[in-house]
Amino acid sequence: MFKDDVLANVLYIDLSQKKYWVERREDLFEKYLGGAGVAIQLLKEECPAGSDPLGPENPIIFAVGPLTGLFPLASKTVAMFKSPHTGNLGESHCGGRSAVALRLAGYGAMVIKGASSTPLYLAIHGDRIFFRDASALWGMTNSFTVGRIIRQNEPASGLRTIMRIGGAGEKLIPYACVTTETYRHFGRLGLGAVFGSKKLKAVVISGKHSLPTRDKNQYRKIYDQIYKEAVSSPVMKKYHDLGTAENILPLNELGGLPTRNLKEAKFEGALNISGEKLAEGYLGRRLACSHCPVGCIHIAALREPYEDESYFYKTSMISYDYEPLYALGSMLGISDTEGLLKLIDQIERIGLDSMSTGVILAWATEAQERGIISEKETQDIKFSWGDYSSYIKAVQFIFKQPNQFYKALARGVEYTSQQYGGEDFALAFGGNEMAGYHTGPAAHIGLLIGARHSHLDNGGYSIDQKILTKEKVSPEKLAKELLTEERWRQILSSLVVCFFARGIYTPEICSVTLSSAGFDIAKEDLLGIGEKIHREKYRFKIQEGFSLDNYRLPERIFETPSLVGKINKVFMDKVVKCVNNEIFK
Ligand code: SF4
């Protein structure tokens, strides 16, 4: 890497002491590129074994990569921490302006340590760092309002990122998210609660550093090639036109859309929650993360009359993606488009992870149907598939936690089902609530073995559709497919490239772009680096108690037919065993 590249600057901030300093860490960036690769090393250095995820010893790491700010779609930031939701590796990715802002502020990574005794927010404007009093913001449950106030008080409009939490993070709900630029999130695994535990309401970052490149002509040539592909490929056009919501109808047609707590995999109301319906009736604007020409972010404009007023309306802007539409739509049987948007909006404002929340509410509905819980536990709510207003009320109760039942729901579906029963239909994998794919065994094994229990770890749902629907494969082959994909994705999340561009950023393009950024790495060597990063993540997971010798697969996934028919449990167990052997050999 270039000797003067700001990428090697790691900004350390100690919230307990209100101190900060910068260290040059070429050692980490040269070996692990950036993003996830560097973040896991910093997490290992800073997080003592067995730390309380909500204690001051749990650090928050943010990291970007060598392509950030230089190439299109290198638009994501990796956050790493110990997860209060699973108790092991916490990793979450987010776009918005976060990545470009961090790099242009002059840093490749940032480590936030300790905890403040009073609420504060951090303002990082290049090398000027401020610990701002956030007493007036603390207690503000709506993350939109927090963003609006900070926008009025900080400079660098148009350049800055504002990462902040709503009420859920303050209440330490372990699946609380961090919101950036109003519509993007570090959604999964509870970064919001870690912010809350440090009394950290927000982090604002801006800067104007320039970035070095090796050969201007060569750089321009590769840049243009990537840009052209990004704006002309049919896949990217799909993301631009309808966003990820485009996936609802095809997945439903195939029979892989989890519906009513996965009692079914086809939803009769799919059209009403589809990208097509939302675009035609509600699309208010499209947005893009910084330095992305695709713009897959879709925002609905929901116009509602004020109660008791004639001709007075309020318009809420609500972002929607495939995952919230599945988790809060088909999973809860909601086909009322506006009702679904209202529920998404409610969850967004408080700052909960919408996927976890939807899966938890789906479990609660089935548990009440089966008589496992009664209206005594639910505080008179009668959950009923499709009744969005009862779910809006329940979200308020999860936030306020008026009784033991809602306190349990606020800890996730794994914990609640351990307390009340109904584990067979509690849809969590490795402690994290499931993503929206019932495509076959690879989707579910992928969630279980993925280092962060995310569908994006290894894209198991895609392996189901591309391979398993066409041919029978051995457990060894499926294990290899999943691991190879996850190891390759470590490179993309170290660079840090949006996974939607994974078809563009081939090993060859990664190697050439890295060369422009000052890194000489042959394409053949990239997978080896990816494997190393993946092993490091697993080492951390195991140190914190995760094991593939002892796992739970919810019975429900074996009961409801998927794209490849009923899933065979013996086959799944064999795949997990193969993965386990390979990771620990
Ligand atoms: S494709 Fe979408 S998520 Fe990815 S960088 Fe672009 S706007 Fe962000």
CATH code of the domain covering residue 566: 1.10.599.10
**CA 330 and chain centroid, separation:** 20
CA-closest residue to ligand 1 atom 8: 289
Separation between Cα atoms, residue 151 and residue 142, nearest integer Å: 15
- For a pocket test of ligand 1, which of 68, 75, 227 has the largest count of ligand atoms closer than 8 A to its C-beta? 75
CA-closest residue to ligand 1 atom 2: 296
Distance 498 CA to ligand 1 centre (A): 6
Same domain? For 447 and 413 the reply is no
pLDDT of residue 3: 80
Find out whether the beta carbon of 75 lies less than 6 Å from any atom of ligand 1: yes
Find out whether the beta carbon of 95 lies less than 6 Å from any atom of ligand 1: yes
**Residue 212, domain member (yes or no):** no
**Residue 532, domain member (yes or no):** yes
Find out whether the beta carbon of 243 lies less than 6 Å from any atom of ligand 1: no
pLDDT of residue 191: 98
**Residue 336, domain member (yes or no):** yes
Residue where a domain terminates, one of 206, 238, 264: 206
pLDDT of residue 1: 84
Residue where a domain terminates, one of 181, 206, 231: 206
Q: Tokens 């770890």, residue?
A: 457
- Long-range (24+ apart) CB contacts under 8 A made by 222-228 are 222/71, 222/509, 222/512, 222/513, 222/516, 223/70, 223/71, 223/72, 226/71, 226/72, 226/73, 226/504, 226/505, 226/509, 226/513, 227/72, 227/293
CA quadruple 574, 577, 583, 585: dihedral sign: negative
Q: Kindly report the CA angle at 382 between 378 and 384, in degrees rounded to 5?
A: 125
Question: What pTM, to 2 d.p., does this model score?
Answer: 0.98
Q: Which residues contact 490 (CB under 8 A, 6 or more apart)?
A: 36, 37, 529, 530, 531, 533, 534, 537
Same domain? For 316 and 380 the reply is yes
pLDDT of residue 169: 98
Range of the domain at 171: 6-206
- Residue segments in the chain with a per-residue pLDDT below the cut of 70: none
Q: Are 331 and 270 in contact (CB under 8 A)?
A: no
pLDDT of residue 2: 86
Same domain? For 93 and 70 the reply is yes
Separation between Cα atoms, residue 353 and residue 182, nearest integer Å: 14
Distance 244 CA to ligand 1 centre (A): 10
Distance 235 CA to ligand 1 centre (A): 12
Distance 184 CA to ligand 1 centre (A): 10
- For a pocket test of ligand 1, which of 227, 229, 297, 504 has the largest count of ligand atoms closer than 8 A to its C-beta? 297
Separation between Cα atoms, residue 384 and residue 363, nearest integer Å: 12
**Residue 78, domain member (yes or no):** yes
Same domain? For 143 and 280 the reply is no
pLDDT of residue 121: 98
pLDDT of residue 307: 81
The CATH code of the domain that includes 380 is 1.10.569.10
Distance 406 CA to ligand 1 centre (A): 35
Residue where a domain terminates, one of 177, 206, 235: 206
Same domain? For 202 and 229 the reply is no
Same domain? For 32 and 142 the reply is yes
Same domain? For 418 and 353 the reply is yes
Distance 108 CA to ligand 1 centre (A): 20
* Cα-based distances in Å from 54 to 18, 171, 410, 488, 518: 19, 11, 15, 31, 38
Separation between Cα atoms, residue 414 and residue 433, nearest integer Å: 8
**Residue 404, domain member (yes or no):** yes
The radius of gyration of the chain's CA atoms, rounded to the nearest angstrom, is: 23
Distance 337 CA to ligand 1 centre (A): 24
**Residue 215, domain member (yes or no):** no
Same domain? For 65 and 95 the reply is yes
**Residue 349, domain member (yes or no):** yes
Atom of ligand 1 nearest to the CA of 293: 6
**Residue 217, domain member (yes or no):** no
By C-alpha distance, which of 84, 7, 99, 8 is closest to 47? 84
Same domain? For 163 and 310 the reply is no
Total count of domains within the chain: 3
H or E stretch covering 375: helix 375-378
Q: Are 443 and 426 in contact (CB under 8 A)?
A: no
Same domain? For 411 and 385 the reply is yes
Atom of ligand 1 nearest to the CA of 236: 1
The CATH code of the domain that includes 196 is 3.60.9.10
Distance 292 CA to ligand 1 centre (A): 6
Q: Which residues contact 231 (CB under 8 A, 6 or more apart)?
A: 293, 294
Same domain? For 237 and 137 the reply is no
Separation between Cα atoms, residue 123 and residue 173, nearest integer Å: 25
Same domain? For 417 and 463 the reply is no
Find out whether the beta carbon of 99 lies less than 6 Å from any atom of ligand 1: no
